Amino acid sequence: MTAPAKGADASAERRLNMIEAINEALDIMLARDPDVMIFGEDVGYFGGVFRATAGLQAKYGKTRVFDTPISECGIIAAAIGMGAYGLRPVAEIQFADYIYPGLDQIVSEAARIRYRSAGEYTAPLTVRSPFGGGIFGGQTHSQSPEAMFTHVAGLKTVIPSTPHDAKGLLIAAIEDNDPVIFFEPKRIYNGPFSGFYDRPVEPWKRHPDSVVPEGHYRIPLGEARRVSEGEAMTVLAYGTMVHVVDAVAREKGIDIDLLDLRTLVPLDIEAIARSVERTGRCMVVHEATRTSGFGAELAALVQERMFYHLEAPVMRVTGFDTPYPHSLEWAYFPGPVRIGEAMDRLLQD
């Protein structure tokens, strides 16, 4: 399940945070492929609101890394046209909450162009966007809309949870010949957090998830990562929730089989099946709202494929079906208390 860093020298490993790892992936792809272009609101001169593109315009020039007007529809439409004519655009949408004006272009054009043209044209574009909570941004800077894109045939949806994976997955996304939605959990941009709002965070430079090899490497899309191996239950998570679940399990001393999905589409259903068949229990945790969230799809797949191995119903722990609150993030997203209580209930069934 865990893909090795192909072509990377293990002796050259450094420790980066996710912003630095993403910046390095973009730098490598700009250097390797003259068809790669990066653009979006404030990504050029300023280097992006989270600094993910810092220094790239100065290094590669304004024709390779440039700012755009505040028009998400226009940004995506331009990227589709560039991709159809042979370029590999990387478009940044400043926050996932702003992606909706470009939704028609993504769904009706980018995801359909290969099929509509009988393979004559493709749209090898990558749409990067910070998503989820983490900055107390409330309703307009904290949404998790991944399920909208996993529903669309022709799109791939990627969500890393570590700097190592962010770099390898982003390189793989840019090199992919189909459109990829690349969501970046902003809560862990600058380092991990303990999973508990009242616990100190381990210094990022000592955290094992911060080890990132130098140079070019790819993590194939569609391969899950086993974070911890256990027999009590299978927990499926992605993005920030991987760290929260891991922290809760360690705190409670429960030996969970924790799978970081990494890519929602394509999904590593084989890894999920192997885990659930062994543990007999399955929990899904995500920050997005519950109704029609991606957890519902995961629960349905587990139920369909592993029904006779289940010793209890599949359990979901998710965000609430309300707009994202401004100052109550820890009450809204699945925190340690809710996840811990759900683990206890699942073990009792």
**Which positions are annotated as active-site residues?**
141
CA contacts within 13 A on the Cβ side of 88: 19
Among 182, 156, 316, smallest CA distance to 236 is for: 316
Among 218, 210, 194, 189, smallest CA distance to 95 is for: 189
Find the DSSP H helices in the chain: 18-32, 56-60, 72-84, 103-104, 113-116, 146-150, 163-175, 240-252, 269-279, 294-306, 329-332, 336-348
Q: Which residues contact 150 (CB under 8 A, 6 or more apart)?
A: 157, 264, 265, 294, 297
Please tell me whether residue 27 adopts helix, strand or coil conformation.
Answer: helix
The answer to whether the beta carbons of residues 214 and 12 sit under 8 Å apart is: yes
